Structure 1
Amino acid sequence: MKSNFKADLSKEQQLTPLLDFYYQKHLKHYAFERISALKKQLRGIDIILKDERSTKEFYVDEKAQLDYINESLPTFAFELLYQKNGVQKQGWLFDTFKKTHFYALVTSIFSDAENAITSCNITFVNREKLIQHLDKIGLSKKYLEHVITQNKGMHGKLILDKLNAKTEGYLFFSTKNKAEKPWNLVLKLDYLEQIGVAKRLV
């Protein structure tokens, strides 16, 4: 199993100008600053949005479906846990080290024959509201980690009784096909909008 870090980095660099164009076009009343400092990126800050009507700043973590170019998926995977050098690590959703206010979920990434990225969708998700909602329906960090522990060696989809797998979401274990062996909470983008924690930008 290989990590696609270098390939993903190349795709990210191709994607950035398009994202910046969309931000400039659709984020009314906000100035944005793209962050290149690794220290801030590791804390879940790719973009700082500045509200021009106040002094408020919002930290945005961009998450792109780079494994699915020229595909349109209705879901997004939120990382709960993963492995690094055989050691279990906290995924980005519940990681208290991260300073993220919003996730910019980049989906439906389309590329032309020259491999230039031509279009994508961006959905903004309020991280705090999402975590609060999950907690409210019984999917707290503690509960989800308990479920993962109970199903440690599993690979594939695990249906949760607190979510409708067809319309809302489920757990997915990538223990065989990814080097990091992530355990993800896969949620439908429509569901995120319906519960009021997300808004489609483009």
Structure 2
Amino acid sequence: MTNTSYRTLDNKSERIVSSFLANHYYSVLKANGSIAGFETITDPALQRRGVDFIVTNTDGTKTNVDLKAAVAYINESLPTQAFELSSLFGGKVVQGWLFNNRLETDRYLIATNITGRPIGDKVKYDYVDAMQYSDLRSIDVFEVPRQRLICYLDSLGLTRDVLEGYSRTMREHNILDKDLTDGIKIKFSPHLAERPVNLVIRKSILLKLADSAYTVTRTSMRPLANKNGKEQINGHQNS
């Protein structure tokens, strides 16, 4: 399977995850009164600007949400989340989405620990190729405000200039990974078509930065451990 087809399957599986979260996450938050409404974005131009959902808050303000789904790791438990610093596009190195000020993202909806029913012995992209909406079982979601994350990194001395400097150095010298501080490292993946350099952050850190964090299933939402949040929501009711 080529890297191009990987991206096609990523897009397919991300649409499935997006539908699952619209139906079992945002719809529940709306019915529960936590948000006033939401819109699932299907316009490719707006999606390229970092907007997959637009949430209407209870005070009438709107929040642009960028879905980041770990679709390549379905049925695997990941301890970290990657944030793109740079990648290759059209043979040129371009700025990644984390520090791209042209994007309109207000917060990241991180979808991880995605589980689905077994499909024979299929794994990774072969699984994604066969997966249907009905196969999804549960997803962990973290809502992390983009600016809060950037300010946290700044407080550690990991400013945009510092991190983009590391990104250039790693490309120039083919350095694959470098630990920056406890729970945060930078990783270069030259084996992938886009040759991304990512900032890799442990989820325990993201959990502290998140406004909310839930395990979402078809019948319930329960707060993730170590995150003060609302009581479990079953269907459309607080339990």
Q: Taking structure 2 as the reference length, what is the TM-score of the superposition?
A: 0.76
Structure 2 runs not aligned, ≥5 long: 120-130, 216-239
Given the alignment, which residue of 23, 28, 40 partners 1:25?
28
Local SS of the residue matching 1:142: helix
CA distance in 2, matches of 1:191, 1:198: 12
CA distance in 1, matches of 2:18, 2:43: 15
- The amino acid across from 1:45 in the alignment is V
Moved over 4 A (4+): none
The structural deviation recorded for 1:146 is: 1.2
Between Structure 1 and Structure 2, the one with more helix by share is 2
From the superposition, tell whether residues 169 and 36 of structure 1 become closer, same or farther in structure 2 (CA, over 3 Å).
same
- The amino acid across from 1:157 in the alignment is D
CA distance in 1, matches of 2:54, 2:118: 33
Question: Does the aligned pair in 1 maintain the 2:85–2:167 contact within 8 Å?
Answer: no
CA distance in 2, matches of 1:150, 1:8: 29
CA distance in 2, matches of 1:174, 1:66: 17
Given the alignment, which residue of 196, 199, 208 partners 1:182?
196
Kindly provide the CA deviation profile for residues 45-80 of structure 1, in whole angstroms up to 9, marking residues without a partner as x.
10001013x121000000000110100101100000
Question: Does the aligned pair in 1 maintain the 2:65–2:105 contact within 8 Å?
Answer: yes
Which residue number in structure 1 is paired with residue 233 of structure 2? none
Given the alignment, which residue of 146, 159, 172 partners 1:140?
159
Is 1:85 the counterpart of 2:98 in the alignment? Answer: no
Given the alignment, which residue of 11, 15, 18 partners 1:16?
18
Which residue number in structure 2 is paired with residue 70 of structure 1? 75
Which residue number in structure 1 is paired with residue 214 of structure 2? 201
CA distance in 1, matches of 2:170, 2:148: 27
User: RMSD value over aligned CA atoms?
Assistant: 1.6
CA distance in 2, matches of 1:150, 1:29: 44
Local SS of the residue matching 2:56: strand
Which residue number in structure 1 is paired with residue 234 of structure 2? none
Question: Does the aligned pair in 1 maintain the 2:170–2:188 contact within 8 Å?
Answer: no
CA distance in 2, matches of 1:38, 1:76: 24
Given the alignment, which residue of 41, 47, 53 partners 1:47?
53
Kindly provide the CA deviation profile for residues 82-117 of structure 1, in whole angstroms up to 9, marking residues without a partner as x.
011220101000000111011000000111135312
- Percent of counterpart pairs with the same letter? 31
Question: Does the aligned pair in 2 maintain the 1:26–1:201 contact within 8 Å?
Answer: no
The aligned length equals 194
Structure 1 runs not aligned, ≥5 long: none
Given the alignment, which residue of 149, 157, 179 partners 1:159?
179
Question: Does the aligned pair in 1 maintain the 2:170–2:176 contact within 8 Å?
Answer: no
CA distance in 1, matches of 2:211, 2:156: 17
Structure 1 segment 83-162 matched on structure 2, within 5 A? 83-114=88-119, 115=131, 116-152=135-171, 153-160=173-180
Q: Taking structure 1 as the reference length, what is the TM-score of the superposition?
A: 0.89
- The amino acid across from 2:178 in the alignment is L
Question: Does the aligned pair in 2 maintain the 1:70–1:109 contact within 8 Å?
Answer: yes
CA distance in 1, matches of 2:21, 2:45: 22
